[in-house]
Amino acid sequence: MSTDAINARPKVVKFNGRMLFLTEDTSLIRRQLEAPAEEARALEDELAQRLLNDDLPLVNNISTDEITPGWVCFYYDETLGQYVYVGMREGSVKKDEVKQGGFAVVVSGLSKGCGSSRETAPYAEKWAGIQLVIARSIEKIYGQNSQNIGLLTSTDFGLIERIRQGEEIQLAEFTNGLDPIAQSIVEHGGLFNYNKARLAGEISPPIIELGLPDGRASDTSLKQRPMNIVEKIIARHAFVKAGQIGVAAVKPGDALFAVADVRFSHEYVTPMAESLFKQALGSNARVTEPQSVFAFRDHLTFLSKVMSPKHREMGLLEKADGLATTQESFTKAQGIKLYGGNAEHGSEAICHNAVVEDLALPGQIVIGTDSHTCMAGVLGCFAFGVGSTDMANAWYTKDIRIRVPETVRYVLKGTKRADVAAKDVMLYILASDYMKTSKGIGKVLEFAGEDLQNWAMDERATLTNMSVEAGGFTGIIEPDEFTLDYIVKMRGLDPEEVRKGFIYSDTDAEYAATFEIDLDEVRPMVALPGDPRNGIPIDELPQEVRIDAAYGGSCTGGKMADMDMYATVLKNALSRGKRVAPGVHLYLQFGSQKIKQYAREKGYIEIFTEAGAELIDPSCGACINAGPGASQTAETVTVSAQNRNFPGRSGPGKLYLASPYVVAASAIAGKIIEPDEFLD
C-alpha cells in the first residue's frame, strides 16, 4: 500500500455544518439545539459576536464523563453518536440532539476533555458529525485520542469566524505546534493509517537529535544534557529500529515511539480495543508478547446493584455484562492474564492497585487504558493512561508514541501534620493557580522531599494517582530503600534485580517549574463539587455541610494505608461511644483482595462493622457510578476519598472530595469536619 493510498486526509478542510457553543448559560445551549433552521443562523451570529466581544462565558472543564457518561460507554460503535454530551450539566443535551442538529464544530472553554481516558468521548463527537473541537485548552489524553481517530482539535479561536464565513482551512493549521509524529498522524487521518504506513516502511518516526548510545550524535553537548527521571526512562525505552532500543538522551518536545514493559486494559475498554485491533489487522491478529499484557474485570462488578430502572429497560445491564464476556473470550484466545472475579464476590483487584502490588517495577514504562495508570509512578516507573486506539496498536507493536513531556517538580518541605493525609496535600496542589489555569496539562509531576521517607507507599501513591486530575501526563517519585522493601515484601523478588531499575534525576536536570510546598501549612482540605481543583481548607467552608453518605474506596481511597486511617478514626469514635451518624451511610470498599485480607488481619473488619460501616468487596464501584456509594438523587450529599468529582461522574448528587481521615470523621459527625478530634 502506498503512502498516497493510506493518506486519505485532504490538505484543505471544509466544515459544512453548524457551530455549537457550549456556554455556561445552559438555556443558550437549549436554544441552539431547539432553534428552527430559519433561526439557527441568526442565533449563531449572535453568539459568535458575543464571544468576539468577550461576553459569552463558555463552559470550562468539560469532562469525558459529561461527553459520554459511564453508561453510554457500554456502547462502542456508531451508537455513541446518539448520546454525545448527554451528561452535560443540568441535562442540557438530550439523545440525538447534536447528531440531528447538523453541527460540524463545537466550541468550549478551558480544559476540554478532562478526567477519564475513555476514547468513547471523542468517538461520540465524531460519530455525531463533529469534525472540529475548538477549546481554550485541551487535555492531553483527550487530545491524543482525538488525533488517533481523525477528529480535529484547535485552541485557535480565530478559526471561528473564518469557518462561519465558509472559508476552507488548510490542514496545516491543525498541525501547527504538533510534534512530527502527531502531525503525521493527523495528516494520515488517524493512528491506524499512520501505523500502516509506518509498518510498511513508507514513513519513519524522526531521528532523535541527541544520538544513539554508541556515541553517534549530531551535537555532543546536547548528548550530555542532564535529564530527570522520566527523560531517562524514555531514553532507555526509545525505539530506534528493530532490535535496537534506547538512545543516549532525550529532551522535552522530542517525538518518538517507546517500548512498553506493561500493557493493561479493563472490561470497559478491552472490547472496543479488540474491535479496533481486528478491524485494522484482521480477525486472526495476535497480540505481541502477551505475557506483558494484562486485563481486569474491575469497573462494572457491582453495576447491577445501582443501575436505574430506565437503563435496565434500555438493556444496558446486558450490554455491560457483555463487555466482561467479550474481554474474557479475547484474553483466553490471546493468552493474556485476566484478573477476574473472586470467590468472595467482587473483583480480584482494581487494576491500579494490582499494577502496584503485582506488576510494575522501577524504571519501566507502563501503559493502561485508564487515566489513573499514573498511580504506578509511585514505584519510580513512567506510567500513563492511553485510549483504545493507542492500546490496540500497542498490542501489536508493543510500543507507544510519546512526546517527551516537560516536568514540574514539587519539593515537599517540612513535616505533614498528624491530621493531614496525602490527599490533602494533593488537593492543595490542585487548587493552585498553576493547575487551575491549565498549566499542568501534559506535564509530569515529580514529587520529592525528605518527609516522603516517612510516608507509607500507599500515601505516596495518592500523589501519583491524582496527578492526572490537573491534566498532568503522570506523576512520579524516585525509588528509594522503602520502595525496594515494599516490592520485595509484596512479591518476594530478588532485591538486586529490582534495584537495577532504580533511576534518579540528575541534580542539574531541567524543569518547567519548581514549587516548594510547606507541609506545615497544609491543613485538612475538601474539594467542592464539580472539580478536584476546587479545593479549600475545611475551616473555610462558607457553611455547614450535612452529608448523606461517606465513601471510602476506589484506587485512591481503598489502599492499605487508607484502611489504617479509617480504622484509626472509627476506633477512636467507638471508644467515645460514637458510631456512624443516624441517616448517614458510610461505605468502605477495598481496592483488592490483598487489601481486604490486610484489613482482616489487622482486626479492622470488626472495627468497621461495629462502627456501622457498610463493607464492599473490591471494584471501582461508586467512583464511576457503578456500585454502592453512588448517589441516586441530585439532593444527595457525599464526601468521598475517591480521586475526582466531575459533574455526574458518581451519580447526580453533590460530591465533595477529602482524605480518608475526613471521610471517616464526617461519617461520625454527619457533616464535613476536620478529623483532629478523632485522632487523639
pLDDT tens digits for range 232-243: 999 999 999 888
265-293: average pLDDT: 94
Sheet holding 585-589, edge to edge: 535-537, 525-527, 654-657, 637-640, 549-552, 585-589, 614-616
Q: What angle do CA 101, 125, 91 make, to 5 degrees?
A: 65
What was the pLDDT predicted at 199?
A: 82
Query: What are the pLDDT digits (tens) for 154-172?
Result: 999 999 999 999 999 999 9
The single residue listed with the C-alpha cell 470467590 is 343
224-230: average pLDDT: 93
540 and 670 share one domain: yes
613-636: average pLDDT: 94
pLDDT over 70 for what percent of the chain?
A: 96
579 and 455 share one domain: no
The structural domain count of the chain equals 3
What was the pLDDT predicted at 470?
A: 82
CA distance 328 to 555: 22
Q: Note whether 522 and 427 are within 8 A (CB).
A: no
463 and 558 share one domain: no
pLDDT tops 80 at residue 619 = yes
pLDDT tops 90 at residue 564 = yes
563-576: average pLDDT: 98
486, 521, 556 — which closes off a domain?
Answer: 521
What was the pLDDT predicted at 341?
A: 84
**Coil, strand or helix: which one is 411?**
strand
Alpha helices by DSSP H, 227-269: 229-237
In angstroms, how far is the first alpha carbon of the chain from the final one? 71
CA distance 199 to 220: 31
411-439: average pLDDT: 96
What was the pLDDT predicted at 533?
A: 96
Contacts 24+ apart (CB under 8 A), 33-39: 33/93, 33/94, 33/97, 33/98, 33/101
Nearest to 672, CA basis, from 639, 640, 629, 634? 639
419 and 446 share one domain: yes
pLDDT tops 60 at residue 597 = yes
pLDDT tops 50 at residue 215 = no
553 and 664 share one domain: yes
466 and 575 share one domain: no
pLDDT tops 90 at residue 31 = yes
468 and 533 share one domain: no
- DSSP 8-state assignment for residue 376: G
Is 341 inside any structural domain? no
Range with lowest mean pLDDT among 302-306, 378-382, 614-618: 302-306
CA distance 595 to 563: 8
537 and 497 share one domain: no
491 and 575 share one domain: no
User: Torsions phi, psi of 245, nearest 5?
Assistant: -120, 135
What was the pLDDT predicted at 344?
A: 62
Q: In 480-534, at which residue ranges do the beta strands (DSSP E only) sit?
A: 513-518, 525-527
Average confidence score pLDDT of the chain: 94
pTM: 0.92
Q: Note whether 499 and 484 are within 8 A (CB).
A: yes
Higher pLDDT, 199 or 333: 333
Q: Which residues are CB-neighbours of 630 under 8 A, at least 6 positions away? A: 306, 621, 622, 650, 651
543 and 476 share one domain: no
Q: Note whether 410 and 448 are within 8 A (CB).
A: yes
What is the domain extent for residue 671? 525-678
User: Torsions phi, psi of 239, nearest 5?
Assistant: -80, 120
Q: Note whether 476 and 444 are within 8 A (CB).
A: yes
The residue type of 676 is: D
pLDDT tops 50 at residue 282 = yes
210 falls in which pLDDT band (50, 70, 90)?
low
194, 219, 244 — which closes off a domain?
Answer: 194
pLDDT tops 80 at residue 96 = yes
pLDDT over 90 for what percent of the chain?
A: 90
Is 257 inside any structural domain? no
Output the nine-digit C-alpha cell for 529: 463539587
How does 567-595 read in b/e, with b if 16+ C-beta sit within 10 Å? bbbbbbbeeeeebbbeebbbbbbbbbbbb
What was the pLDDT predicted at 265?
A: 97
Higher pLDDT, 202 or 23: 23
276-289: average pLDDT: 93
Output the nine-digit C-alpha cell for 192: 491506524
Query: What are the pLDDT digits (tens) for 481-498?
Result: 999 999 999 999 999 999
- DSSP 8-state assignment for residue 383: E
What was the pLDDT predicted at 200?
A: 85
551 and 465 share one domain: no
pLDDT tops 60 at residue 212 = no
- DSSP 8-state assignment for residue 359: I
Is 365 inside any structural domain? no
CA distance 377 to 382: 6
655-664: average pLDDT: 98
What was the pLDDT predicted at 37?
A: 85
Q: Note whether 398 and 260 are within 8 A (CB).
A: yes
Nearest to 106, CA basis, from 59, 45, 175, 46? 59
CA distance 502 to 404: 20
pLDDT tops 80 at residue 581 = yes
What was the pLDDT predicted at 8?
A: 64
- DSSP 8-state assignment for residue 484: H
